Structure 1
C-alpha cells in the first residue's frame, strides 16, 4: 500500500502529472472519473502567488471530488517559496509538491524547475525550508539530473527525504534531454532500491500503454506511476492500465460516442472555468488524442484546431458523430 503520510493511495497508484495548461480542474475531473488516484495541479509560480497574479491564484482552485490532490509550486527564491507554501496551504490541498523538473527554458534557465539541479545544496536547503513552513506533506517532482554528467538522483532523493519530503516522482530524463530520447528508468529503480529510502518513489516518462505500465512496474519496482503526455485527450488511460494489471486483458477502447461526449464535456467545463477564449486555445492539444484512430479524420481535426468560434466547434463535433457513426476505430 503506497502512502504519503496518512493518505492511502492504493497498492499501485496512478498519478496525473502536473502539466502546464493541461492539468486544470476540468481535465482533472475527467481523469478522476477514469481512475487517477492522485492528481497534481499545473505548476504555480511562487512569485505570481505573492504578487496575487490572477493566473497564479486561479490555479489554486481545487474541489472536494478531486481529493487527494496536490498543488505544485515552483520558484528559485527560498523566501518566496516559503511564502508561496503558506499561501497555498490556506487553500487546503492534501499535498504541496515542489517542481524541480520543468525543463522549459524560461523556467529552468532562471534557476527554477529543473534549473535547480545545477545547485543541489540550494535544492536541499529550499526543500528543508518549505517542509518547515507547512504542516502538510511535501512531495517533489524532479529529473535524473541537469545533463548526462550530473545524474545524482540517487543521492539527491536520499537528501530530500532526509529533510522531510514524503514522496518523490522522478522523470527518467535529464533537463538537457527535455522530452527527447527514451526515459531511463534504471536510475529510478536505483532510487527505489536504495535501502535508505522509505518514502514512495513514483516513476514518470514514456508510459503510454497498459502493457508498458505493467512491464515497468515489474521491471523497476516503483511504488506507482505518474502519467503525463499519454493522458492528454485520453483520460481513459488510468482505468485501462488498472484493468490490464488486474486481469491481463484490455478494456474495450472508448467508442466514438464516448469520445465525443467526453471532449464536449471537457470543453464545456473549460469554458465555465477559464472563459471561452482560453478554453478554445487550450483544448486544441487534446483533440488529436480524443479522436485518434478515426480514419480520414484530418479535415475535422483541422477545423477543431483552427476555429475560434465555440459554436463551430460544437457543430464540428456533431458532424463527427454523424459522419463516423458505426466506423471502426483503427487503434485503441
Structure 2
C-alpha cells in the first residue's frame, strides 16, 4: 500500500499553500467521481490529496445578470436545476453519467475529466510490462496502442500521430458552444481564460491536456447570458440512453431572425480529442434560411477534416446527422 496524505483546507489560500508545499504528485480533489477511478486503476498515483470542498463560496451558483457564474464545487445536479432556461447547459448535465453521480460530481471537476480511452485507462504500469498497452497520454513516449487497434470509440477530429483519445464529458461541449470562461487561482494569483484555450490538442504531447499552471485550480466557470443560449440544445447519440458516453454529440445555440440564422454556435463531443468548436458549420449556417438540407450541409462542413481510423469511420455520417438534428431542435425552441 502506498502512503497518501489528505488535507481539507477551509480557504482558497490555504488550499494553494498546501498544494504548493506538497511534492509534484499532489492533486486537488472535489467530488472525485472520476479521479478515484483513475487512482484505483493506477493511472493516477497521488501522494497528497487537497480536498477543496470545505472552501466557502466555491460552490455558489449565480444566474442573475448578463453573466452566469458557476462555482467550481457546485454539483452537476444543482447547476442543471438552476439553468433550465438554458437548454444546452441543462441537457448536457442531465444526459451525463447517472443521477447518483450527478449528485456527487462538481462542474469544475467535470471540465477536468480525462479520456475514457480503454488503452489509457486499462493496464497502467511500465510500458515494458507484459500485457500493458502503450499510451503516450499515460506514459509519454511509449506509443499509442489505439492507433491501428480497437478504435471504435476514438476521435476522428483533432488527432495526431501520438494520440487519438476522445475527450470525455458533455458539459464542456456545451460550455465550448457558449464561449465560456474558466477562472483559475494559483500561486501566481487569479486569471481567466477562454474555454477554447483551456484544452490542449494532443500534438506530440498528449499528456499535456489542460492549460493549467503548477498549483492552479479551477475556481469558477462563467457563461455569457445571450438569446442564443436560450434557443439551444445538447443532442447526444450513444449506445444506450443512460449512463453511456457519446458516440457523437452536438451543442448548438442559435440567434434567429425569422427563418434566417443570424448567428450560430456549434460544438461537438464524442468525436474529437478536445471539446470541438465547429466554426466551419457555423459559417454555413450564418445568414442562411434554415432548412434540413442546410443543417446537413453544416454537419458535413463540421466533419470535412475528419480522419477516421480502422473502426470509427461511422462517426462521420453519424456526426453529420447529429449536428443537423441538433440545429433543427435548437431552431424549434421558443424564447
TM-score by length of 2: 0.22
Higher strand share goes to which structure? 2
The answer to which structure, 1 or 2, has the higher relative contact order (CA under 8 A, 6+ apart) is 2
Higher helix share goes to which structure? 1
